[in-house]
Amino acid sequence: MPSSATHSVITPAIMYWGTPVVLITTENDDGTANVAPISSAWWLGHRCVLGLAAASQTTINLLRTKQCVLNLPSDDMGSYINAIAKTTGSPVIPPVKQALGYEHCKDKFARSGLTPHPSDLVRPPRIAECPVQMEAELAGTTELMQDVPDRKGFILAIEVKVIRTHVQDDLRLPGHSNRIDPDRWRPMIMSFQELYGLAPKKTVSTLASIDEEKYRPLTVSNVGASAAEKGKSGSEEA
């Protein structure tokens, strides 16, 4: 049945239709840790693409060290996210962030109340309060808006490869070694700058009838693995 709803043409300033919040940790040049909440992230296999401003401290750190941790907060962690939402680890605040009201914060762990926890394979710390923590390495970068001369290079699409995944045990699907129970995982979702949780499942998914392990041959490879990846245990992608 065709919809009777009326549609209008608009030009939104932003297009954040709804994606998980990621608290990404990186290492500053003095060895301290930076934490940044971002919402431009998506996964395919064991790869993640991050949308980041080229001038952000997170981007600078990631391109220099080639390491990060993608920490996924649950939907009850809004107070931690809000505490550092309008802060930057950069001592010199980029003009665009000045206009948005950002302020410099050197120690975001102290500001937020989050707890750093040592990673296994990368130098940036994991965030203890986050139920999912993915250690990752840089795989590649692409400048967005290359067709717009005055915007080219302003935003980067950064590909990282997940080399180790840590999850809270109560999120695991009973009877499976490497699966998450989607009914237990409650991620924080950002939609047009507001924070939400997931609604209860609306319908049974046909796609969910496929055994997740059948996707593993598409995502797992040891070809070109880094030293850290080759030294790890488990069945993660190297």
DSSP code at position 198 = P
Write down the domain spans for the chain: 19-223
The answer to whether residue 234 scores a pLDDT higher than 60 is no
pLDDT for the residue numbered 218: 82
pLDDT at position 230: 67
What percent of the chain stands above pLDDT 90? 81
pLDDT band at 231 (very low <50, low <70, confident <90, very high): low
Label residues 24-42 b or e (16+ Cβ within 10 Å = b): bbbbbeeeebbbbbbbbbe
Whether the predicted pLDDT of 236 surpasses 50: no
Helix (DSSP H) and strand (DSSP E) numbers for the chain:
6, 14
Question: What residues does 47 pair with on adjacent strands?
Answer: 44, 161
Please state the rounded mean pLDDT for residues 14-40: 96
Backbone angles phi, psi at 126, to 5 degrees: -85, 165
Q: How far apart are CA 226 and CA 238, in angstroms?
A: 8
Residue with tokens 């948005």: 100
Spatial separation of the C-alpha atoms in residues 236 and 44, rounded to whole Å: 14
More confident call, 198 vs 222: 198
Q: Report the DSSP beta bridge partners of residue 48.
A: 43, 160
Residue 225: is its pLDDT beyond 90?
no
Whether residue 143 has pLDDT greater than 60:
yes
For 228, phi then psi, to 5°, come to -65, -40
Side chain identity, residue 197 = G
Pick the CATH number of 19-223 from 2.30.42.10, 3.90.550.10, 2.30.110.10, 3.40.50.620: 2.30.110.10
Average pLDDT of the residues in 181-204 = 95
pLDDT band at 226; cut points 50, 70, 90: confident
The mean pLDDT of 138-150, rounded to a whole number, is: 94
Cα separations in angstroms, 219 against 45, 138, 158, 190: 5, 16, 18, 27
The SS3 of residue 209 is helix
- At 235 the pLDDT is 41
pLDDT of residue 238: 37
Average pLDDT, the chain: 92
Using alpha carbons, select from 52, 99, 77, 30 the residue that is nearest to residue 187. 77
Relative to beta strand 132-143, strand 155-167 is antiparallel
Confidence of residue 125 (pLDDT cuts 50, 70, 90): very high
Three-state SS string across 43-96, please?
Answer: EECCEEEEEEECCCHHHHHHHHHCEEEEEECECCCHHHHHHHCCEECCCCCCHH
Question: What's the confidence (pLDDT) of residue 237?
Answer: 42
Mean pLDDT of all residues in 129-154: 94
